[in-house]
Amino acid sequence: MTIQLYNTLARAKQAFVPIDPSRVTLYVCGPTVYNYAHIGNFRPPVVFDTLFRLLRRTYGAEAVIYARNITDIEDKIIARAGEEGAAIEAITQRYAAAYFEDLAALGILETTLTPWATAHVGDMIAMIGALVDKDHAYVAADGVYFHVPSMANYGRLSRRNLDDNEAGARVEVDAGKKDPADFALWKFAKPGEPDDAIWDSPWGRGRPGWHIECSAMAAAHLGETIDIHGGGIDLQFPHHENEIAQSECVHGVPFANYWMHNGFLDMAGEKMSKSLGNVVLLKELREAWPGEVIRFALLSGHYRAPLEWTEDLLDQAKVTLDRLYGALRRVWAETGEEPTDDGVYRALCDDLNTPNALAELARLATEANTAADQKDAPAMARARANLLDAGELLGLLGQEPAAWEQRGDAGEKARIDALVEARVAARVARDWAEADRIRKELAAEGIEVMDGAGGSTWRRV
Ligand code: AMP
Ligand code: ZN
């Protein structure tokens, strides 16, 4: 089974062939840590976490090297530190920590590597030096610039004609540039900028541009050519185009063989974005919904299509997860079988078709319910193994069914456990009226008590 991936470079689905199957490399642009991330910011991490899981399953967990950086030096961070009168590091540590907490809540595996830009300024300076030496870059009044017309095939990822290029969102237009498309590799420090945002360089004190950060970190950790580079569709131009320009002009080899871009997460038909103000912070959403529901909702659409974020999407995700965990609970006690079903794996091999993968997962739940209805123990054990194996590929069904069904705070759980025990005691004492009263009291709170061979247990319905 080969993995097919839609390669933005080719504008086509292609069979994925790694340079070295014992060292498959994946680089994804990480967050700029200057405030709390919104749910749209987590679409790339969830999508590429699913790809990471698929690659690990295919090539072996140790064979896949996944780097997602932390951009901890950038104009917005400096602005934020200035507003708060705080050190740069205080800002970046705070928001990176919040980001890592959010990632964990979404069941996102730790990446193999998490390079921080500030730890690689030396690599960036070396790369800029090589670009200057090769006449791809020049020193202007306010910084060092990459000269876009110096690269013959600039623009081949976004397929832009140089004439269409205007300075992109993150590129500051400056009179000292030789060409409007030229972009900053190094920005000289301006008067009043804080010392902790300034580094020495052969051209003058300052800081790296955003694009060179990724080129340098990818080369430092993954090599001159990486297998897959990913990110949100908004990064295709100018960020990824500029990463290609820098890396290829220094190394003379392709920067990445496969480029993958996820579509936007929209709200009310518009991209969720800080500048539009239509953002839902994940940190806040997690107070209302389990992280697994949010992950499921993010996986419910194909990664390349826009995904409209609604309350209904979350409701649907929760209902479906309740059903999946309900099926898993029914077969939970039957162990000892190996997984036999590859429906979810196949769906993911088709350019990460997560809607089909979730449909396959639902089919496995139906099979579990059928096996449980028929009290067919070997079939139940197989269904359990299949559900867990498929769930792992998607980063779902990682909890025990009881933990899912009884989720909530610990005090709440202890109170309900005590009521269920009191009901068992009433039944043992043949006090049917009391047992019934407790059952009704719990039912009124949306809690169903289930009596089985192994005793009484409960779940939220
Ligand atoms: P930004 O905060 O705009 O720099 O975005 C950080 C990361 O989140 C980038 O990888 C973007 O591609 C991604 N991103 C931002 N907004 C959205 C959105 N609405 N949908 C999907 N990805 C997004
Ligand atoms: Zn990048």
* DSSP conformational letter for 198: -
Confidence of residue 408 (pLDDT cuts 50, 70, 90): confident
Q: Which helix (H) or strand (E) holds 345?
A: helix 343-349
Give residue 372's pLDDT.
97
- Cis bond before residue 238 (omega within 30° of 0): yes
Q: What is the pLDDT of residue 461?
A: 80
* Pocket lining: 234 vs ligand 1, CB cutoff 6 Å: yes
Q: Ligand 1 centroid vs 277 CA: distance in angstroms?
A: 13
pLDDT band at 21 (very low <50, low <70, confident <90, very high): very high
- Per residue in 28-41, pLDDT (tens digit) is 999 999 999 999 99
Mean pLDDT across the stretch 103-109?
A: 98
* CB 232 near ligand 1, within 6 Å: yes
Q: Please write the tens of the pLDDT for every residue from 57-88.
A: 999 999 999 999 999 999 999 999 999 999 99
pLDDT tier at 163, thresholds 50, 70, 90? low
Ligand nearest to the CA of 241: 2
Atom from ligand 1 closest to the CA of residue 271: 19
> Is it the case that residue 343 has pLDDT exceeding 90?
yes
**What is the whole-number distance in angstroms between the Cα of residue 401 and the centre of ligand 2?**
39
Predicted TM-score (pTM) of this structure: 0.93
Report how far residue 199's alpha carbon sits from residue 65's, in angstroms, rounded to the nearest whole number: 30
Q: How confident is the model at residue 277 (pLDDT cuts 50, 70, 90)?
A: confident
The phi and psi torsions of 262 (rounded to 5 degrees) equal: -90, 150
For residue 217, the surrounding DSSP H or E stretch is helix 210-222
Three-class SS state of 452 = strand
Q: How far apart are CA 215 and CA 25, in angstroms?
A: 14
Element (H, E) at 8: none
Ligand 1 neighbour 30 (Cβ under 6 A): no
Separation in Å, CA 58 to CA 21, 62, 157, 345, 430: 9, 11, 27, 9, 57
Surface-to-core class of residue 380, CB atoms within 10 Å of its CB (0-12 exposed, 13-18 middle, 19+ buried): buried
- The most distant pair of C-alpha atoms in the chain lies apart, rounded to whole Å, by 91
Q: Token digits for 60?
A: 């072996």
Ligand 1 probe mutation, 39, 42, 211, 234, most atoms within 8 A of CB: 234
**Rounded average pLDDT over 315-324:** 97
CA 28 / ligand 2 centre spacing (Å): 7
DSSP letters for 258-286:
EEEEE--EEETTEE--TTTT---BHHHHH
Q: Is the CB of 235 under 6 A from ligand 1?
A: yes
Question: Is the pLDDT reported for residue 178 higher than 50?
Answer: yes
